Structure 1
């Protein structure tokens, strides 16, 4: 337990804390109880949430107790956005999203054994509170002059739109969560993203004001790409954990495509690789970047963590097959669809000649060019070289009846999609 904070710092997983020395001592003296919460603003967790779950996993393995909160009540209100009022979601929509997020979180923490994690829903203790009790028992501990200093609130107050009391009250609701879990479960540490710092402090201050106790808060850093752009819903580039939102293949490809300048930092944050292993991968990135050993390692570990070993094996097979190192015909229908979804291409009906198909998918710009490519031995269909310029794509060429993989050389891929 005494080493967990040092590990989190080394991995770059600590952005802010209320009191470093006090938190370090509390962790060393542990076990302590901590919680991390997720609001159902979407029907999936994303890569930023994954960072917090990874910290929670490490804390649990170090012997600390983890509470995972899904925001059945706070999700009905919504954390204020800096630019506009949130669109209210129905109770049924929020409940459905809560169930999906709960399922995802349960797959990443250990809810059995000697130190099981515990799943909680803040609707259970918030819904029974009357409006009068909410104002008397909790609202009295909050000062408006402090609440309006929160960045998102301040920006909204200075806008033409302003902010509704509904969203303004969000930080009271989140503070109430911490107070409830402190009283009911002895929770003394809340974990969140660095953009949640103001809400975390609201809970710390509420516990101090209401019960005279000192508790802790810690945030994880925002996750950015090599250029410093963050990943998230607001940026339109969120990396979802739900396979219906982001396929395992696309998830795997994100990690495979990490920049050499970024992959080692991501390994520290996301994986269980120790310092010696990460140093070894860093050396390989420097000396043999073309092997992409670090990218392959993190892609396999993260895809297995989120989607399971079977999904990882399927997407690895697809990656190999697309570039001629495996049997593309052996891929299952879902993996094939995911693997070819982002490829350039076009609709090609069964019976179309290969020459016309090459034009349709954009590999050749004319029939003469297509025939020349075939004559030079540079064209393959489903990784089988085409030698006859009069060959056609019959029904059996379309894998699972859906798509045929056309290739020029080793790297120029396109998908011929059956329109029927």
Structure 2
């Protein structure tokens, strides 16, 4: 099975510029290919994960992927997927984001067989006159206006800056083809117009015999029709400081039965036999959620490493058992980062007063009732004595007190 057959089975291909030509190329050769990411922020999110998974799959089959960090294109702004102009970032902010994304990519793709380059290195060296004479002359305005990404912006308006983005991305492909013999560009479906523009430009310069191709990944929708990758809290980031390994793990663990096998094909490196086995387990006993646990484990390990996975699994198990005293301070921060929190005094205090101060209960009557009914746990310990005195400094380095009311409702008392 060649790489394209593998990708088809996984449902990872949306469009190709020349299916037969690319099939012949990868069947007979080990090729170089690329995928780009613009530094619009200082972290990638799971929307970036699928094309980079594709890069890794190519690498595992002996091909040579390049990750292009768009220090040049990122300073301009890609109009794709937007209804209005992007706010231009300062070059200092662009560089900060470039450094952050480069570090993140190196951590995820720790391999000598995957190269990283920054398109600022060649785009910044092109003068205005050279840009217009060498590249601008190759682009027909009517063709550019017909590209979906531009056409969708014409009513609201688009600046010349963003209008020229497809030329810059085309220059990227041309330079990578000339300097590194890169013959395939991979991107999201919204990049189709930019990818084909680059191929057209290369053919105009090098001739129609130049073997360059484009491939896009499908737009992912969940079974309920909503866009994949968004949560109530916003994007799911790859940076552990923005989305902790535990939160990342939980995102995958909570996937719908109807989606989990599809995501297993797209976001893991499991074999067909392994995935088929989990598909059978899902049909036989969906309540066990074995496929979801395997999916969460595989993707978390790929992004956050074995340490991140082990931490996420530990937190998950501890929260299920209620033995939160087993958590380290760092793990507790991850586990309870999203629960209601309020400041409390560091002084020892009566349990009833603590529940009021932490806004667990709104009245002392309700607090006393919760305590006597056995509904309150402080740092994992059930408290039923109305006269109990809680010293906030005794657990989690005196940073916070974790309060549970009932089976699942948690609160965080942050110590002043």
TM class by smaller structure: over 0.9
SS of alignment partner, residue 79 of structure 2: coil
Superposed displacement of residue 364, structure 1: 4.3
After TM superposition, where is structure 1 displaced by more than 6 Å over at least 4 residues in a row?
none
Q: Tell me the distance in 2 between the aligned counterparts of 1:289 and 1:89.
A: 47
1:239-260 Cα shifts (integer Å, max 9, x gaps): 2111222222221221122122
Matches within 5 A, 1:8-407: 8-81=7-80, 82-112=82-112, 116-159=113-156, 162-212=157-207, 213-231=210-228, 237-324=234-321, 326=323, 328-350=324-346, 351-361=348-358, 363-407=360-404
Superposed displacement of residue 361, structure 1: 4.8
Superposed displacement of residue 157, structure 1: 1.7
CA contact (8 A) 2:16 2:215 kept: yes
CA contact (8 A) 1:72 1:95 kept: yes
User: RMSD in angstroms over aligned alpha carbons?
Assistant: 2.2
Which residue of the partner structure matches residue 4 of structure 2? 5
SS of alignment partner, residue 249 of structure 2: helix
Superposed displacement of residue 416, structure 1: 2.5
Superposed displacement of residue 22, structure 1: 1.6
CA contact (8 A) 1:345 1:360 kept: no
Structure 1: which 5+ residue stretches go unaligned?
none
SS of alignment partner, residue 235 of structure 2: coil
Superposed displacement of residue 104, structure 1: 1.5
- Which stretch shows the higher mean deviation, 150-159 or 44-53? 150-159
If the length of structure 2 is used for normalisation, what is the TM-score?
0.92
CA contact (8 A) 1:397 1:404 kept: no
If the length of structure 1 is used for normalisation, what is the TM-score?
0.91
Q: Tell me the distance in 2 between the aligned counterparts of 1:188 and 1:393.
A: 66
CA contact (8 A) 1:379 1:386 kept: yes
Pairs aligned (count): 412
SS of alignment partner, residue 171 of structure 2: helix
SS of alignment partner, residue 148 of structure 1: helix
Q: Tell me the distance in 1 between the aligned counterparts of 2:52 and 2:110.
A: 11
SS of alignment partner, residue 43 of structure 1: coil
Superposed displacement of residue 125, structure 1: 1.4
Structure 2: which 5+ residue stretches go unaligned?
none
